[in-house]
């Protein structure tokens, strides 16, 4: 098993699939799954290639979800080894996507083959939902596939997303939910003028500073047992002409909420508008809703995952909702139980991204153990 997982991971890394390019990764996966009895459906939406593969017609449906696209490598000369040439070194496998998440994809494939070989008449169905735009705008990927499946009433019971969830050791952390995400892009309108004649101008920086201070200091909620408190962060702020003697005519800023289940996106928008309207400036604001919070706090999927990790590694896993968003936010609203389990995330998106080779084999065994507990 370990050799096969490693070989598949290397082959996937060697394909330069920077978002939204798939670079043949899904074709490789399809060629692996088809002989196991999977029906392969390619869904192309605009610039994004997606794959829905399914073995079986009945319920329950267990789905592996993930993405073949990776973030850009950055300066290749800063890498110890070429980013798109998988390289083994001192027990680690180096290459862009090794941890996020081509190692997970390889482990899913090998685990599925091992399970199907052992249980050719397993109950229910096994599916793969794979996209090539998770690292990008997430417009034509998983969300479009889910729309297609929902339109034909094709449901998942359980979904395991292969995001790199582990912190120190494979399986030490499983993400059983994620916070919601809401972004605001605001333009504060002022009046440009000479700094020596401020009475003839209106400085949008001065006018909006108290409002931003209040937004930053506002207590949005206290979180709960599963989620930390909602956070507000300004990510970008720009104003000025570049000259030292000109009062700017406008200010643009971008801010983001990562929010818990204690508040809704609508409530956050209403509270932001209420705060902004207290201050004397004109503004325009556009909102981008990136996903609702979701939580799988119990159920067969969580239990099977915890048991499989304990069986393979001997360790207890921690359930967590920390971190960024994932495509799980598009799947959970369909009613599926969703968790995220993958390799250690210490090097994801970094120069010299790598994964422990032994962890890949352990991950495949864990995935197989989950299938065994749910569908055997």
Query: Is 349 known to sit in a ligand binding site?
Result: yes
310-318, long-range: CB < 8 A, 24+ apart? 311/369, 312/171, 312/362, 312/365, 312/366, 312/369, 313/169, 313/170, 313/171, 313/362, 313/366, 315/169, 315/171, 315/172, 317/171, 317/172, 317/173, 317/174, 318/172, 318/173, 318/174
Closest alpha carbon to 127 in 57, 71, 180, 220:
57
Instruction: Answer for the pair 234, 198: CB distance below 8 angstroms, yes or no.
Output: no
Q: According to the annotation, is 163 in a ligand binding site?
A: yes
Clarify whether 307 is annotated catalytic. Answer: no
Sign, Cα dihedral of 177, 285, 234, 19 = positive
In angstroms, rounded to a whole number, what is the distance separating the alpha carbons of residues 361 and 347?
A: 19
Alpha carbons 108 and 64: distance in angstroms, whole number: 7
The residue annotated as part of the active site, out of 134, 340, 359, 362, is 134
Identify whether 59 is a catalytic site residue: no
**Known binder of ligand: residue 100?**
yes
Q: Which of 69, 250, 340, 359 is catalytic?
A: 69
Contact 370, 304 (CB under 8 A): yes
What is the set of active-site residues?
Answer: 69, 134
List residues forming the annotated binding site. 67, 100, 135, 163, 349
List residues forming the annotated binding site for Zn(2+). 67, 100, 135, 163, 349
């Amino acid at each position: 098993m370990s050799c096969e997982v490693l070989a598949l991971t290397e082959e996937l890394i060697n394909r330069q699939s920077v978002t939204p390019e798939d670079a043949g990764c899904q074709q490789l996966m399809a060629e692996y799954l088809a002989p196991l009895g999977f029906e392969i459906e390619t869904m192309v939406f605009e610039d994004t290639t997606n794959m829905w593969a399914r073995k079986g017609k009945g319920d329950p449906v267990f789905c592996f979800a993930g993405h073949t696209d990776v973030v850009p490598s950055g300066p290749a000369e800063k890498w110890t080894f070429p980013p798109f040439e998988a390289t083994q070194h001192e027990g680690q496998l180096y290459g862009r996507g090794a941890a996020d998440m081509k190692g997970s994809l390889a482990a899913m494939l090998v685990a599925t083959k091992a399970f199907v070989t052992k249980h050719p008449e397993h109950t229910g169905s096994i599916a793969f939902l794979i996209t090539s735009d998770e690292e990008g705008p997430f417009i034509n990927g998983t969300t479009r596939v889910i729309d297609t499946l929902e339109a034909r009433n094709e449901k998942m019971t359980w979904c395991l997303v292969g995001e790199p969830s582990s912190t120190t050791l494979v399986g030490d952390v499983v993400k059983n939910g994620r916070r919601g995400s809401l972004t605001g892009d605001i333009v504060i309108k002022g009046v440009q003028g000479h700094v020596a004649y401020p009475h003839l101008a209106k400085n949008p920086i001065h006018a909006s500073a108290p409002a931003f201070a209040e937004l930053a200091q506002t207590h949005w909620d206290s979180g709960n047992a599963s989620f930390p408190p909602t956070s507000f962060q300004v990510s970008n702020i720009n104003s000025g002409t570049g000259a030292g003697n000109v009062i700017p005519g406008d200010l643009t800023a971008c801010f983001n909420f990562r929010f818990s289940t204690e508040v809704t996106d609508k409530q956050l928008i209403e509270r932001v508008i209420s705060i902004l309207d207290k201050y004397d400036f004109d503004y325009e604001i556009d909102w981008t809703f990136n996903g609702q919070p979701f939580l799988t706090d119990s159920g067969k999927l969580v239990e099977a995952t915890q048991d499989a990790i304990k069986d393979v590694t001997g360790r207890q896993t921690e359930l967590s909702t920390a971190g960024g968003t994932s495509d799980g936010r598009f799947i959970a609203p369909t009613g599926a139980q969703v968790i995220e389990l993958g390799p250690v995330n210490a090097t994801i998106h970094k120069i010299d991204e790598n994964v422990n080779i032994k962890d890949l084999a352990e991950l495949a065994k864990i995935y197989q153990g989950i299938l065994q507990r749910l569908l055997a």
